[in-house]
Structure 1
Amino acid sequence: MPPEEPTLDPGADDAADRFAQLAVELHDTSGVEDTVQAVVQFALHALNCSHAGVALVVHGRPEIPTVTDPVVAEIYQLQTDSGDGPLVESMRDRSTLLIRDTATEARWPDWAAKVLAVGIGSVLDVPLTTSAGTVGVLGLYSTAPDAFGRDDEAIAHILARHASVAVASARQEATLAQAIDARMSVGQAMGILMERFDLGSDRAFAILRRYSQDTNTKLREVAQQLIDTRKLPH
């Protein structure tokens, strides 16, 4: 059974209003990067952190689309290079991990020492999850040790739920847009072949597919090259 999430103190300062505003901002964002940036900026204003970042799962590995400081990128890179650390574990196990004091952290001593050396005293990693799996991890960092209390954890969990849905939706929209663009490119390339060589649509598509297979090039890339150069790949 997963651990119980911390609950937000009902007296926390206008938390509901802030999340309502965030929901509007996330709805208005136009892509994954803008969505992540909105989440990071909200974290900086609503939580007791000096730095924040989001690492997304791409082909089973972390990818860092946006951070508030190069320090965060360095902290993430330390873990992606070694394949170990709270970010990696949070992403793999869908678990929330709190490092109260990097000076005394014993689970990842090498990582903690390097993080302490760049001025980070405490860390809170919260997974971004949907029913389909892990989307990424929200990483919160403070220069002070033991900076994150129960209210911070509760707000971070609520923020992570908003972010999970928003990022998943932005990714889905981006994938759909790419599919539409690819279909349009292939259709345009087929039209060029049909006009130039007096071919039917089935034959034109077969030619594009053959060139794609023979050159080990994606079909949409073959189509785009034909559109741009009016020539098929060698």
Structure 2
Amino acid sequence: MRPDTHRADLRHIDTWLFDLDGTLYPAESGFLDAVVDRMTDFVEKVTGLPRDEALKVQKAYLAEHGLTLKGLMLHHDVDPDDFHAIFHDLSLEALAHDPDLLAQLGRLPGRRLIFTNADDRHAARVLERLGLGHLFDDVFHIASTGYEPKPSAAAFSAIGAAHDIAPASTAFFEDSARNLEPAAGLGMTTVLVGPYAEQSTAPFVQYRTRHLAPFLRDAQLKEAA
């Protein structure tokens, strides 16, 4: 049976954590590629390196710190507001409403939270464009964690404390497998989303799906009280 048609048992879940970029819209949209291109432009400018070398630095900071921005802050004294500003005029034309996803998110029992390494303004723009903003109780963004990005333990500790999260009744949806590992360690149910999800063999990933809406549609959910 294909992972994205497997009927997941999520009847114990009443807190739903969702990553934003690459999770609430398909990677095929190309929007995330545009985000990465802007980021490379910024790294190129800050470091003075040729583009191919700047891209290597960008990837190295991502691998080491979980977020390119963190490396830029530590090694180049970059102001996070200056970094985030480069995305605030990015075209959102590649993103479209998904009525099925809206419906499936709307039927989830309990709290729905965004847990993103992006900033609040970027998250607000994307959610508004997707027509999903009203479905979430909060957006826990990078400043909310004191600029400690996923997958750091500090990021999970921050959202856990802010929202009194009980891991055993929480599901976390991500397009990055590495960000699911600490969630699994805490006892959360983990769902890897996106075009590479089915290829993952990570033992801490419980469910894998290429597309979010069909997975939620088929999942077993807690009945309304």
TM-score by length of 2: 0.22
* Bigger RCO (CA 8 Å, 6+ sep): 2
TM-score by length of 1: 0.21
